[in-house]
Chain A
Amino acid sequence: MKQIKITPADLKHYATYIVLVSISLGTIIAGILFLPSLLQTVLSKNEQLEALSAESRSLTRGMTVLDSIDTTVLDTYLQKVTVALPDEKKTSGVITGLDTIGLNSQVTIDRLVFSPGIISTSAAELAQDNNVEKLPLGIKGTTASLVSSGTPESLTRFLSNLRNAKQMLGVQQVSLSEKNDQGMTADIGLIIFYQPPPTGPIKWDELRPLSAEETTLIDGLATTDIFTPR
């Protein structure tokens, strides 16, 4: 086997090649090693910036919405909607309220069966309350049964007034039977609604001004006592 001898003269002759090839290889290796991580860092920063920009847009939108709202009017609106749909199970006022509607409709309330169950707010939150019907949008309802008597006309009026009561009531069923020559007895299944307010952090991008439809709906609500017909 022939031995290859590299003499200093050969090295001197090929020095330029060796240097240039080394630089090229070094550049390629450095590029492979560092450029991807550098690119990754830049992309990550870009994502962070996009996220911050989106957050900024959301916050600005929230600020714009709040700027467009009159806080005094908003407080009145809150009062109205809370009357219509209280935050918690309403027990006080139910008997008086139903009596008032009955009186206004010229019917007599003969019997009221109302089982509100747990009425302490904190206890109701903790316990499984079987007296409450759970409905969509976090709406809950307490059922009541009502027996009233009057003429067909007054009972019809009574049912209409219940429907139009300031607090949201639902009539689930009605059974009428003849009482005497002049009157009838109505057995009415009622549900008294309430809705705990939303919880959790505010999503600023979901904040929006009140629409025309919502304002119209609020205008139809009243601020005063709960069971007087609207």
Chain B
Amino acid sequence: MKDINLLPPKDVLSQQERKARRILLIVTSILVGLALVSTGALLGFGFYLDSQLTSQQLINSDLKTQLASRQKEAETLRTVQYKLEGIDTLVRAQIDFGERLERAFALAPFPIEVESMDWTNGSKLIMVLNFPSRIEAEAFLKLAGEETNLPYFQNIKVGSLNQGSGNSFALTMEAGYVANVADAEEEFIPDEELNLVTPTPTLIPTPLPDETN
């Protein structure tokens, strides 16, 4: 039997091997290179960060030492600002009852007498007025009916109008107060909230006993 060599010639095999080795060498080099570069970069950046951290810690420590000696000043400033915020809140929320009283008394000029005035329920005014005669009472009711003349009071309603001794009349009224007239038109107080009683129209035009005599 005769042997036949089917393998490629030796020089061809060597060429293929060289190519394969070269590729493998390149791949290995790239891998090792990448690993070395990334490790080096990370280690380098780590060392840089370490130095930065040390430096920053020193700076912060120095600042803290300086600020520790000024702690009292800082606390004073904080307290001042905190209290100012509180004062501002209270000032804004304060109700000017002096102004309210002034405006309510202006509703009842002499000779009308304010028997009582009550501001116990937010912006609701309850007032009892005494009129020496029907003329003043009617004039007041006319004025109250035209709310444009009384910009600070809305939803004026008369609870009762009673004739007292002689010519005098006692009137109980309720109204909603608007501190800022500019907002008066926007600030609508519903009737249910005020819980007011609408006056009966028969009260005003009834002829008075002294006039019929």
Contact = CB atoms under 8 A, between A and B. Distances in A.
A107 interface: no
B94 to A, nearest CB: 6
Interface string B63-78: 1101100110111111
Interface residues of A, number: 78
A182 to B, nearest CB: 12
Interface stretch (A63-71, A108-116, A122-130): A63-71
Interface stretch (B4-12, B108-116, B203-211): B108-116
A163 B97 contact: yes
Contact of B67 (A42, A62, A189): A62
A74 B79 CA distance: 10
A125 B137 CA distance: 56
Contacts of B115: 177-178
Contacts of B105: 152, 156
B118 A176 contact: yes
A32 B100 CA distance: 80
A185 to B, nearest CB: 9
A62 B74 contact: yes
Contacts of B52: 49
B34 to A, nearest CB: 8
A66 B57 contact: no
Contact of A171 (B35, B63, B79, B95): B95
B24 interface: yes
B43 interface: yes
17 contacts: A28-B31, A30-B35, A38-B39, A38-B46, A63-B67, A66-B73, A66-B74, A71-B73, A74-B77, A77-B80, A81-B80, A84-B83, A85-B83, A175-B116, A176-B116, A214-B80, A214-B84
